[in-house]
Amino acid sequence: MTFFRLLSVLLTLALLTPVPAVEAQSNQGPLRIRITEGVIEPLPFAIPEFIAESPAAAQLARQVSQVIAADLTGTGLFREIPASAHISEVTNFNAPVQFADWKAINAQALITGSVGVGSGGQMTVKFRLFDVFSEAPLGEGLQFGGTQDTWRRMAHKVADQVYSRITGESGYFDSRVVFVSESGDKANRAKRLAIMDYDGANVQFLTGNNALVLAPRISTAGDRVLYTSYETGRPTVFELNVANVSPRALNLSSDAVTFSPRYAPDGRSLIYSQSQGGNTDLYRFDVNTGQRTRLTSSPAIDTAPSYSPDGRQIVFESDRSGSQQLYIMPATGGEARRISFGQGRYGTPVWSPRGDLIAFTKQNQGRFHIGVIRVDGSGERLLTASFLDEGPTWSPNGRVIMFTRETQGASGAPALFSVDVSGRNLKRVPTPGPASDPAWSPLLQ
């Protein structure tokens, strides 16, 4: 009884005791914020016209500035603030930057530079990149030297540096694209190889229009091009030395049809498809020794092979499962692993230079797509959709995909398009006329 009394007294006291306010733990550390979503928009930058170190350099300075701005804005990741909005004027390459003036127009990056011309057609381009809101340079200033007729390349190199310093990735502006230039009626079209800067400038032709050519593939060093030609009346793989524009037929097979060649990353061998007796398999060809090695031996059609950047694996398309899908196997051959499982038909896989993604063409429900998929088969994303998209090729940094898009109808013609790997910035690449089968070179040295 005494115990219950004592308990009742304690409970009574406890209930009558005022309940203090709920005090949560005080925040003794810094205020912690977690941001899990940003905005996707071009980064505004300013590039005052480069300073001409002499009157003779005035035009070059203007052109170099324009090409740099065009390179950066063409990525879709940057937006140029027009000169009419500039408050500060840069009149001296070494003058202090008035950051407040550039902040006022919301320029996040500022590119200043100068152009000088010397004797013998030489020229120099100097530039600096500033992070305006940090009021600090982004990297050191650089100077490029060369001849005046290489001014576009020097501009591309400056743009590559700017792109690299801001995005953390290497650029892709100082590169070239080999493609098939087409002319004539759709039913009787002439096709010849051409090469141009990545932005469509400086187009030059590598072959004549006396023979149909297809599917050029450029080596990782950028010095040679593989392509399929009907010059001999049947599809034959040729190798063309870019330096002297001298093609030579590769004797891949004397009696079988060979096609779809592509270089190994080391450039010393190539893989291709060989069709014989209604069966198509993959082979490797040693460029130096001429030795051929069979890599697949299935009754299915195995074609469109592409090496991984480290040269250890090959991705290719095959209908061994009944429908056209993507497979990966060791570079020496062996068991293949299927990586595509979606609806439709998958083809022309190309391994990204970064090694993380594989671009492909997909045909589904009457439409063609360019898409990307991870190496393990996950994360498939379709980037485009049209009447006919095919033949993807990666930019040197693995950020942009160029491909062929053909319009519908009798008057339809192929053209080159590019799209960011995120699916944004889909745009047409300027070419002299109808064009197809792009092959993007590595960055020039």
Partner 1 sequence: MTTGTNISLAAHGALIFFVLFGGIFSSSQAPPVRVADVSVITEAELQALTPPAQAPELATEAPTPTLPEELDAPEVPEADTAPERPEVSVAEAPEPPPLAPNIPETPDALETNVLDSAPVLDLVQDGAELVPVIPDGAPAPAPRVAPEAAPAPPPDVAIGPDALPDISTDAPELAEVEEESEAQAPEEATTDLVTEADEQLELAPERSQRPRSRPAPQTQVTEATEDTPEDPVEPLMSVDPEAARDAAVAAVATGQTSAQPAQRVRGTPMTAAEEDAFRLSVQRCWVVDIGSEAAEVEVVWAFELDPDGKVINGSMRQVRASDGSDAAVRAAYEAARRAILRCGASGFDLPAEKYEQWREVEITFSIEEMGR
What is the smallest separation between the CB atom of 267 and partner 1, expressed in angstroms?
A: 12
Q: Is 267 in the site for partner 1 (CB under 8 A)?
A: no
Give whichever of 127 and 316 is closer to partner 1, judged by the CB atom.
127
- Of how many residues is the chain composed? 445
- Stretch of 59-67, 195-203, 297-305, 316-324 lying at the interface with partner 1 (CB under 8 A): 195-203
Classify residue 53 as left (phi > 0), alpha (psi -120 to 50) or beta: alpha
What is the smallest separation between the CB atom of 235 and partner 1, expressed in angstroms?
A: 22
Q: Is 394 in the site for partner 1 (CB under 8 A)?
A: no
- Interaxial angle between packed helices 151-167 and 58-74, expressed in degrees from 0 to 180 and rounded to the nearest 10: 40
State which of positions 45-74 bind partner 1 (CB under 8 A): 53
Q: Is 99 in the site for partner 1 (CB under 8 A)?
A: yes
CA distance 193 to 209: 9
Contact call for residues 169 and 422 (beta carbons, < 8 A): no
Q: Which residue from 6, 11, 59, 145 is in contact with partner 1, where contact means CB under 8 A?
A: 145
Q: Which residue from 138, 252, 304, 358 is in contact with partner 1, where contact means CB under 8 A?
A: 138
What contacts 363, CB < 8 A, 6 or more positions away? 344, 345, 347, 369
Q: Is 19 in the site for partner 1 (CB under 8 A)?
A: yes
Q: Is 141 in the site for partner 1 (CB under 8 A)?
A: yes
What is the smallest separation between the CB atom of 336 and partner 1, expressed in angstroms?
A: 27
- Angle of CA points 107, 110, 115, to nearest 5°: 145
Q: Is 402 in the site for partner 1 (CB under 8 A)?
A: no
State which of positions 154-193 bind partner 1 (CB under 8 A): 154, 157, 164, 166-169, 174, 192
- Backbone φ and ψ for 34, nearest 5 degrees, come out as -120, 120
* Residue 404, amino acid: T
- Angle of CA points 218, 362, 328, to nearest 5°: 65
What contacts 296, CB < 8 A, 6 or more positions away? 281, 282, 302, 316, 318, 329, 333, 336
With 0-12 / 13-18 / 19 or more C-beta atoms within 10 angstroms meaning exposed / middle / buried, residue 24 is: exposed
What is the smallest separation between the CB atom of 314 and partner 1, expressed in angstroms?
A: 24
What is the smallest separation between the CB atom of 187 and partner 1, expressed in angstroms?
A: 22
State which of positions 212-251 bind partner 1 (CB under 8 A): 221-223, 241-246
Q: Is 140 in the site for partner 1 (CB under 8 A)?
A: yes
Q: Which residue from 1, 2, 4, 18 is in contact with partner 1, where contact means CB under 8 A?
A: 18
Q: Is 128 in the site for partner 1 (CB under 8 A)?
A: yes
Q: Is 85 in the site for partner 1 (CB under 8 A)?
A: yes
